[in-house]
Amino acid sequence: MKKNTNIRFPSKDQNFYDTLKKRVNEHFKTVGSTRHANREMVFKTIFMFSLYIVPLVLLFTGVITSVWVALPLCLLMGAAIAGIGLSIMHDANHGAYSNRKWVNNLLGFSLNLIGGNAFNWQVQHNVLHHTYTNIFDADEDISPRGILRMTPHSAWKPFHRFQFVYAWFIYGFMTLAWVFAKDFNRLIRYQKDGLIRKQHTTVTKEWLILLTSKLLYLSYTLILPLIFLPFVWWQVCIGFFVMHYVAGFILATIFQPAHVVEGTSFPMPDRAGNMRNTWAIHQVATTTNFANNSRLFSWYVGGLNFQIEHHLFPNVCHVHYRHLSAIVRRTAEEFNVPYRALPTFLQALAGHGRLLRDLGRKPLTAEAN
C-alpha cells in the first residue's frame, strides 16, 4: 500500500526551532567543535568494527575449533552488528559522520556488509520516519507489522491482547527479517511508490547493489563457513541465527522505547493533510529520551538515548548530543514544549511494555477496528 506522504506541517510560528538552531550554532562556535566525528567517534568506529572482524577472522583461520568457543564469538558479533548499526552506520547514513560525502557513503555502506541495505534504510528511516514520526500510514516504524500493533490507529486483532508478552521474543528476528525478506519487499514497494526515483537514483542500480551485497554477505556468513569451518551444517546455522537474534533484539529494544512508549503521541493530519504542530514541535512530542546520565550506555547505543536531540539535529554526530541536551531542554521549557526524558533504560522498556499492553486492549470505538 502506498504511504500517505501528502502531509504538511505549519510553516508559521517557527520561533521554537529558530531559537534552538541559533543556540546550537552558538554552542559549536563557542566550544570550537565540529558537528561531525571527533577522536572519540574515530576510536569507537575502530572498536566496533574490530569487535565484529576479529571473531570472524578467528573463526575463518581455524584458530577456533570448539563449538562452545565459537558460540560466544557469534554472540559477540551480534553485539558488534548492533554497535555498528547504532553508532557508525546510523550517523553516516544521516550525513553526520563527516563533512565529506564519500566518507559518509563508505561508512553508511557498512550496513550492506552486515546484512542490511543502506538505500532502504535511508528511505525508510531518514525520509519517512524522520519526517513523519509516529504518523500512521506514513512512518514505517509504526506501520502494521505482522502481529504487532504499534499505534492506536492500526487495526486491532484479538491476538494483540498478548503482544506485551510475545513482542520481546519477536524483536530478536528483526535483522534476520532484513536479510531474507524485508529489504526485498521494501525495494519493491519503494519502486512502485516512486521513492527510488525521488532519491535521484535508478531502479536497476539499487537492485544490482541489493542483490550483489546480499550474495556477498551470505557467502561469508553462511556459504563459506558451511564449506570450510570444522562444524556441521546445523551448528553453523545456529551460530548465524544467534548472531542475528542478539543484534535484532538489541536494535529493537533501543529504537522502540524512543517513540512507542507511554507519554509520546501519535498525531494524525486533518482531512486536508495538515498537521497541528510545526515539524520541530512534532518531533519533540513524539519522542522520548532515556538513561541520559549513563555515559557507557550512551556510548554503546550511539547516543540514541538522546533521541529528541537526534530527531531535531540528525545531521549532527551523536557524540555531541549529551552537550546539546541541556540547550534543547531549556529551550523547550521556555516555549512550553513538553520534553520527556526517563531516568533509566529499564524505565523506558517498562513504559514501552505498558504501551504495548494498552494498545493490545480492544478499542472502545469501532473506528479503531
Q: What is the pLDDT of residue 365?
A: 65
Return the HEC string of 7-47: CECCCCCCHHHHHHHHHHHHHHHHHCCCCCCCHHHHHHHHH
What own/partner pairs with CB < 8 Å and gap ≥ 24 does 161-164 have? 161/360, 161/361, 161/362, 162/360, 163/356, 163/357, 163/359, 163/360, 164/353, 164/354, 164/356, 164/357, 164/360
Determine the distance from the C-alpha atom of residue 302 to the mean position of all C-alpha atoms in its chain, rounded to a whole number: 10
Burial letters 43-76, b for 16+ CB under 10 A, else e: ebbeebbebbeebbeebeeeebeebeebeebbbb
Q: Are 329 and 9 in contact (CB under 8 A)?
A: no
Backbone angles phi, psi at 117, to 5 degrees: -145, 120
**Of the candidates 154, 143, 96, which has an alpha carbon nearest to the alpha carbon of residue 317?**
96
**Of the candidates 316, 317, 297, 315, which has an alpha carbon nearest to the alpha carbon of residue 257?**
297
Helix (H, G, I), strand (E, B) or coil at 145: strand
Instruction: Report d(CA 124, CA 129) in Å as an integer.
Output: 6
Phi-psi map region of 147: left, alpha, beta (phi>0 left; psi -120 to 50 alpha): alpha
Name the residue with cell 533501543: 254
Taking residue 26's Cβ as centre, other Cβ atoms within 10 Å add up to: 11
How would DSSP label each residue in 324-338? Answer: HHHHHHHHHHHTT--
Instruction: Report d(CA 185, CA 189) in Å as an integer.
Output: 6
Residues 6+ apart with CB under 8 A from 286: 133, 134, 259, 264, 265, 266, 267
Q: Exposure of 158 by Cβ count < 10 A (0-12 exposed, 13-18 middle, 19+ buried)?
A: exposed
**Of the candidates 349, 353, 329, which has an alpha carbon nearest to the alpha carbon of residue 340?**
329
Instruction: Report d(CA 136, CA 138) in Å as an integer.
Output: 5
Q: What is the pLDDT of residue 1?
A: 44
Per run of 10 residues, the mean pLDDT along the chain (length 369 residues) is 73 92 97 94 97 95 91 97 96 97 97 96 95 94 84 94 97 96 96 93 97 97 94 96 98 96 93 95 97 96 97 97 97 96 98 97 67
Quick one: which H or E segment has residue 135? none
Q: What is the pLDDT of residue 12?
A: 85
According to DSSP H, which parts of the chain are helical?
15-31, 39-60, 67-83, 90-93, 101-108, 110-113, 118-121, 130-131, 163-171, 174-177, 183-193, 195-198, 203-218, 224-228, 233-259, 279-285, 295-300, 307-312, 321-334, 345-359
Distances (CA, A) of 184 to 178, 194, 205: 8, 16, 14
Q: What is the pLDDT of residue 162?
A: 97
Angle between helices 321-334 and 15-31 (to 10 degrees): 140
Q: What is the pLDDT of residue 336?
A: 96
Taking residue 292's Cβ as centre, other Cβ atoms within 10 Å add up to: 21
